[in-house]
Structure 1
Amino acid sequence: MTTLGEYLIKLLETYDVERVFGIPGVHTVELYRGLANSRIRHHTPRHEQGAGFMADGYARMSGKPGVCFTITGPGLTNIATAMGQAYADSIPLLVISGVNRLKDLGHGNGNLHELPNQSAFASQVSAFSYSITTPSDLPQAMARAFALFEGERPRPVHIEIPVDLMSAAADDLPLPSRPAGFRRPRPSATGIEQAARLCAAAKAPLLIVGGGVKGDVSVVQELAQTLDSPVIMTINARGILSGDHPLAVPASPSLKAVRELIKNADLVVVLGSEVGPTDFDMYVDGNFSIPGTLVRVDIDPVQLQRNVTPDLALTGDAVHATTDILACLDKSAIARKEYSGASRAAKARAEVATELSPEMNRQIGFLHQITAALPGAVIVGDSTQAVYAGNLCFSPDQTQGWFNSATGFGTLGYALPASIGAKLACPERPVVCLTGDGGLQFTLAELGSAIDANTSVIILVWNNDGYQEIKSYMEDNAIVPEGVDLTTPDFPAIARAYGLQAEHLSSAEDFPTTLKRLAASGKPALIQIEERLFCS
């Protein structure tokens, strides 16, 4: 007999799933029955939150959904934080959980791991939550999940399977071939034509590119060059143009210099960005605006009407839309520019550098040392000081080289497990985890997961003995600091106990050579860095 749990594994293989993240428990063991004989690799974190963050990092770098198995009750509540981060950043996660037996649902009898309404809980951090009530529900639920991942704004999906159904017979369930034809939508031809006319007529155009630009980013580069337009890259779009590209503005629209660039543009085209406050109004001053003509492209029509209302809204995939605008653009009719795009971008970059504090500029310099030492590095960040500085103004040397949790949902403990997932997705690129001493302690045990997964991530611990950013905020607002000073362990000693290489950086001058040496070993490693080395 083929059980529903075994059928699930075959179904996941049909959708080209290669990795699953989870911690087995009595409410999911039947899902593991067919795993050993499949092509799917399983990775065990130390906590379900770590599973979700690993799947998130894997999804960002592989372009495939991250898949997690978790038990009912505490397993799902533990992973909910990771689902919230993925929901905020539009990351495709498939979370498959157990739930109590069908006959026990909704009675509140106190069964093991019982939640009053688990699906309702999960629905708050997912695009939808699907409850399996009969084995034949499963293929339809899976088809819905992957249709969303491939054709809409990707977000987490939760599927719960009662434990008694996991072992039910599934011999009569056909194994469907993966449906073809799910393509991300294109804007209407009429809208594209209108956008092309606006682009051609603009004398001071500006592109703002967000994390929704995925795939062939060369078309965005071509549009910028064709229009002679600066390109502002939001946090999740850094690297679409290299930092030294003459049209690149790898800086936050929360900064005055970048807002001035936007103010002086007669046309602003926003590609794949929700124009959210953590990018566009980081300091919550309410002063962000786009006075010029605004064209927005987003796969989510509802999002097009949030935060700023466009003059022209194009519903569709941002890369497809850019390709179509280029094809429709009459290059002979493009207006002459009073000021070149390169000069406008250079002015903004120079003013950003003077706007940032000396401390922030040193932290950004620290980030550039990472990419200089490890070309092509993927820097996965937590909510910590150097990451905040980088979000204001830093660009990696390649696409998909910078992402973190200091935006959107804003979780702590993200960077270590997410970097493990990222390394599994792109073993050929150096992957650097940048985390603070406070954030690392949220998911410190995932050091063991780095060893188990044989992932040669380099973990940089930015140590300031507590929650320094919050402490500074308290002091700036005349609040006596409480709860922000922490006992910090000997991180290198803990790392070595797990089997990692580990060092305590003694001087800033030693950083590049230490980083290169540990990366060359091909093994997971940790470097503890005192904040004062790069901030004083």
Structure 2
Amino acid sequence: MQENKTLTGGQALVRLLANYGVDTVFGIPGVHTLELYRGLPGSGIRHVLTRHEQGAGFMADGYARVSGKPGVCFVITGPGVTNAATAIGQAHADSIPMLVISSVNHSASLGKGWGCLHETQDQRAITAPITAFSALALSPEDLPELLARAFAVFDGERPRPVHISVPLDVLAAPVARDWTTEVMRRPGRGPADGASLDVAAARLAGARRPMIIAGGGALEAAGAVQALSERLGAPVFTSVAGKGLLPADAPLNAGANLCVAPGWEMIAEADLVLAVGTEMADTDFWRERLPLSGELIRIDIDPRKFNDFYPCAVALKGDARQTLEALLARLPQASGAGEAAVARVARLHEEVRNGQGPLQRIHLAILDRVKAALPADAFISTDMTQLAYTGNYAFASRAPRSWLHPTGYGTLGYGLPAGIGAKFGAPERPGLVLVGDGGFLYTAQELATATEELDSPLVVLLWNNDALGQIRDDMLALDIEPVGVLPRNPDFAGLARSFGCSVKQPQSLDELELDLRTGFGHPGVTLIELKHACAR
């Protein structure tokens, strides 16, 4: 392309994305996105070819969870959008910043039912319920405003996906002026208002048994969470999204144990609970309602959370880190109390560890080997599988953004593509994927992307129990004769080799630990298939 040639809407959109700091997009080129792909060469943006649009969405999600930056994907009209919708829904449920740019049919045909290729009656209606907003660009000049609005959501509101549809004629149309350098001011977040902070600080200072629940909205506030915990002598529980906010060995780190009975019993003892950046959903706690008996103070960027299932006594609308720091400035220095809280946390961990059933003890034995072999800076991406369910509370993360799990939507097939996307968000970090045999087959084709694109360690630990184990167990618990839960699996080792993976099939836990260490030293993708019988 000649530099003096007028840009098309698609080319200009890609340049503007680069100026917003986008360095990676995930997607599959199609006849309806050609003008976007015209803009990629020379833009500085890396394109990652996925093998399914759902994989593109999950990769964008994993990229965002590890990097803290919005994940971006390009998808085609119609089936590209519907294929990506599950991943968009997962990101919406877990408050993940994701930008989905799709094409849509020519402006003149929209809503007409002419039978155009990939035609969808109302494409925006599909994604509107699972995005912060879904918008249609009616001209190239709409695009800078829509991108500015998207990044305002990511930076200033509860981060959730945004979908922008661009008609084919708008993608191909020349821009009237070059707006590609017009990056709009990106709003930040501030602390809660002073009056509310004063009230909250007084309540916290007067609490006898305060406890903290921190979630994914507190990921940038780890230091402030720990400082407040120590100041108050308050144990800190996290949601799965908040794992790693406190060091694993911090005496007041109660972990993600609010989904098991010892955690429920402990939180009921609090006379005041401070909830920071957490939705407090039943998917976090594995029960309909936590047994909260004390006052509740909530810090959240989303005002809709203050009067939902857990109405609060004090509402602090603002950025988690800034609001916590403002609370710390209003609280007296630590009095030296907290020994009882430390002892209570230690007893909690002992109760959780000793209270596991036979299957969970097998999981713990595996996770202990994972812990022993895992590099200090590694992340773990998990699927909806029993091994990960145990790991959600029983595996202590060493840092924030190190345990990626599809909590809210509970999507099978998430683990592998999210782990691949996370490698692009943090290429220097080794990655581990925990996936079951059922979920693996949802997105196994993304091994092609992984082996093609990655030259640093990604280990896929495939927990193969030759069953949809959780559903089978649920059926048996309800006295339902198991149906459709014992599938015939393929030769997973042969499948992985066909994609170019290194493959290991350990026959014991000792071999598993050795194979994990080998995999983390291999500059590429290693699949480790662990059979249920080998973990006993």
TM-score band w.r.t. shorter chain? over 0.9
2:519 counterpart of 1:514? no
Residue 482 (structure 2) aligns with: 481
2:465 counterpart of 1:499? no
| CA–CA distance in structure 1, aligned partners of residues 368 and 401 of structure 2 | 15
Work out which of the residue numbers 276, 279, 285 in structure 2 matches 1:274.
279
Distance 1:240 1:89, change over 3 A: same
| CA–CA distance in structure 1, aligned partners of residues 7 and 259 of structure 2 | 56
Residue 3 (structure 1) aligns with: 8
Deviations 1:144-203 (A, max 9, x none): 000000000010000000001111011414234433351123210111111111121111
3-state SS of 2:165 partner: strand
2:100 counterpart of 1:98? no
| Residues 95-104 or 484-493, more deviating | 484-493
Residue 412 (structure 2) aligns with: 412
Instruction: Give the letter aligned to residue 491 of structure 1.
Output: F
Residue 438 (structure 2) aligns with: 438
C-alpha contact 2:369 2:509 (8 A) present in aligned 1: no
Residue 185 (structure 1) aligns with: 190
**What is the CA-CA distance between 1:257 and the residue it aligns to?**
1.3
Give the TM-score normalised by the residue count of structure 2: 0.96
Work out which of the residue numbers 231, 247, 267 in structure 2 matches 1:242.
247
**What is the CA-CA distance between 1:532 and the residue it aligns to?**
2.5
Give the TM-score normalised by the residue count of structure 1: 0.96
**What is the CA-CA distance between 1:287 and the residue it aligns to?**
5.0
Q: Percent of aligned pairs with the same residue?
A: 42
**What is the CA-CA distance between 1:216 and the residue it aligns to?**
4.0
Residue 341 (structure 2) aligns with: 341
| CA–CA distance in structure 2, aligned partners of residues 516 and 496 of structure 1 | 19
Deviations 1:440-499 (A, max 9, x none): 000011000101221531001000112011011111111111111111111111111111
Instruction: Give the letter aligned to residue 294 of structure 1.
Output: L
Residue 15 (structure 1) aligns with: 20
Residue 464 (structure 1) aligns with: 465
**What is the CA-CA distance between 1:10 and the residue it aligns to?**
0.9
**What is the CA-CA distance between 1:254 and the residue it aligns to?**
2.9
**What is the CA-CA distance between 1:336 and the residue it aligns to?**
5.1
Instruction: Give the letter aligned to residue 305 of structure 1.
Output: N
C-alpha contact 1:136 1:173 (8 A) present in aligned 2: no
Residue 109 (structure 1) aligns with: 114
Residue 329 (structure 1) aligns with: 331
| CA–CA distance in structure 2, aligned partners of residues 397 and 363 of structure 1 | 19
Instruction: Give the letter aligned to residue 431 of structure 2.
Output: V
Residue 384 (structure 1) aligns with: 385
| CA–CA distance in structure 2, aligned partners of residues 364 and 144 of structure 1 | 45
| Residues 64-73 or 243-252, more deviating | 243-252
C-alpha contact 1:185 1:299 (8 A) present in aligned 2: no
Residue 315 (structure 2) aligns with: 313
C-alpha contact 2:66 2:402 (8 A) present in aligned 1: no
C-alpha contact 1:371 1:377 (8 A) present in aligned 2: no
C-alpha contact 1:200 1:331 (8 A) present in aligned 2: no
3-state SS of 2:216 partner: coil
**What is the CA-CA distance between 1:399 and the residue it aligns to?**
2.3
Any residues of structure 2 matched to 1:73-222 within 5 Å, and which? 73-180=78-185, 182-222=187-227
2:306 counterpart of 1:304? yes
Residue 57 (structure 1) aligns with: 62
| Residues 232-241 or 447-456, more deviating | 447-456
Distance 1:306 1:361, change over 3 A: farther
| CA–CA distance in structure 1, aligned partners of residues 135 and 52 of structure 2 | 24
**What is the CA-CA distance between 1:311 and the residue it aligns to?**
0.7
3-state SS of 1:307 partner: coil
Instruction: Give the letter aligned to residue 450 of structure 1.
Output: A
**What is the CA-CA distance between 1:391 and the residue it aligns to?**
1.8
| CA–CA distance in structure 1, aligned partners of residues 400 and 259 of structure 2 | 22
Distance 1:335 1:301, change over 3 A: farther
| CA–CA distance in structure 1, aligned partners of residues 424 and 337 of structure 2 | 48
Residue 397 (structure 1) aligns with: 398
| CA–CA distance in structure 2, aligned partners of residues 116 and 180 of structure 1 | 35
| CA–CA distance in structure 2, aligned partners of residues 399 and 17 of structure 1 | 22
Distance 1:400 1:288, change over 3 A: same
| CA–CA distance in structure 2, aligned partners of residues 270 and 356 of structure 1 | 27
3-state SS of 2:490 partner: coil
3-state SS of 1:241 partner: coil
3-state SS of 1:94 partner: strand
Instruction: Give the letter aligned to residue 346 of structure 1.
Output: A
3-state SS of 2:280 partner: coil
C-alpha contact 1:243 1:394 (8 A) present in aligned 2: no
| CA–CA distance in structure 2, aligned partners of residues 349 and 519 of structure 1 | 29
3-state SS of 2:274 partner: strand
| Residues 500-509 or 358-367, more deviating | 358-367
| CA–CA distance in structure 2, aligned partners of residues 414 and 363 of structure 1 | 20
| CA–CA distance in structure 1, aligned partners of residues 385 and 410 of structure 2 | 11
Aligned residues: 529
2:46 counterpart of 1:41? yes
| CA–CA distance in structure 1, aligned partners of residues 271 and 66 of structure 2 | 35
Deviations 1:7-65 (A, max 9, x none): 01111011000000110001101111120111000001100000000000000111110
| CA–CA distance in structure 1, aligned partners of residues 365 and 396 of structure 2 | 11
C-alpha contact 1:430 1:519 (8 A) present in aligned 2: yes
C-alpha contact 1:274 1:306 (8 A) present in aligned 2: no
Give the unaligned 5+ runs of structure 2.
Answer: 1-5
Instruction: Give the letter aligned to residue 23 of structure 2.
Output: E
2:350 counterpart of 1:350? yes
Deviations 1:258-294 (A, max 9, x none): 12211111111011100000112x1x4x452211111
3-state SS of 1:302 partner: helix
Instruction: Give the letter aligned to residue 501 of structure 1.
Output: S
| CA–CA distance in structure 2, aligned partners of residues 299 and 368 of structure 1 | 36
Instruction: Give the letter aligned to residue 507 of structure 1.
Output: S
3-state SS of 1:296 partner: strand
C-alpha contact 2:152 2:186 (8 A) present in aligned 1: no
